Structure formats: C-alpha cells, structure tokens
Amino acid sequence: MSRRARTDHPIHEILAQRWSPCGFAETPVPPEDLKSLFEAARWTASSYNEQPWRYIVATRDDPEAFDQLLSCLVEANQAWARFSPVLVLGIAKRTFARNGAPNRVALHDLGAASASLTFEAGARGLMVHQMGGIHPEKARAAYRIPDDFEVATALAIGYPGTPSGLPAECRQRDSAPRQRRPLQELVFARSWGQACDRIAGSHSDGHNR
C-alpha cells in the first residue's frame, strides 16, 4: 500500500515514502540489516559528540525477551506492536559524561539518532513506527536502567504488511489520509508566528500528506 507524501516541495524519496504503520509483515529482519540501522544511529551528530542515546532491542525469535519489552508499552500500542518482528526502547543519558552537567539536548539527540535509524531502514525497504506510549518506570525496573538515563520512546521495526488482523482503530489509522501543518505554521521570521516568506511564501493548504 503506497502512502507516499504529497509534498509541496521536492524532498528525497526515502523521506516521502516514510510513514509509521501499525501493520507489519511477519518476515524477520535480517541481522545484517539491523546492524546497519543502529550503525546509522551511531554516526548521528550530537552535542559535544556525547552520543547520549542507548537502545534495548528484542526480536520475535526470542519470545521471552520480546514479551518483556512488549510489556513496557502501553496497552494500546501492545495491540499492534506485538505483530512487529523487532521492538526497541530508546533511552537518553541525562548528563554529560565529560563533566556531569545536565545535557538539555539529550532527548533531541536521541530523536536525531532514531531519525537516522529510520531513514536507513527506509533505504532497506523497512518501516519504523516510533511511539511515546510506554511505561518508563516499568522498563527501568525490568532492565535495571540507571537513574541517570531517561526511558523516552519505543520503536517497532519491520517490513510493511497488511493491517487486516489489527484492531479497527489501527486499521483506520493505517488507511487515513496523511496530513501535515503548512509551513506558514512551522517556520517563522522576525517574530513568533510571523511566517518566513523565504521558506513559506507559497500557499499550502496543509493537506499535503
């Protein structure tokens, strides 16, 4: 099923094809591809090269480990994520290793690393669904995660599949029109809320998905 974004301006095809499915195929992700996804994350830029991101990975070929990570998701996400072949927790170190000072951009850098992972996945025909619906403290206890690390997100990774076996809400989500805010609401100049004409000067109706 094609879900390519109808963009107002040209972007790379990998970005245009990226979306967050709930329906995944049962096909396992080859280990070599998984290694490359996390290698892409590894080479992401970060403040002071701190690399604050950490990941915990579970695959369905290890049912016990997979169920443990699945249990760290909220129930609504468990309903569909249990069919994905790979689950991941995204974690960020709150302080700089070099001096112990708070790293206020740690979550930004974790997000950037996960974006790099997502685009590498797209180049390999894989899809990634990032989610915030998790139980952070349950994950902390289950994996004995130190206090200096924030359990922030989860990712489901796999090949796109049909949503036919999913709950009705998930099926509707996978087929609903994709929408984004127009650039006028996102990119400003001179003052807050004043659209940057150089970037957002042409009209957009916000329905280019």
**Two tokens at 23?**
């329906």
Residue spans of the domains in the chain: they are: 13-178, 180-209
pLDDT in the model for residue 165: 77
CB 60, CB 29: distance < 8 Å: no
Fold classified for 13-178: NADH Oxidase (3.40.109)
Please tell me the pTM assigned to this model. 0.92
Among 101-105, 167-171, 182-186, 188-192, the range scoring the smallest mean pLDDT is 167-171
pLDDT in tens, 9-20: 999 999 999 999
Predicted pLDDT of residue 202: 56
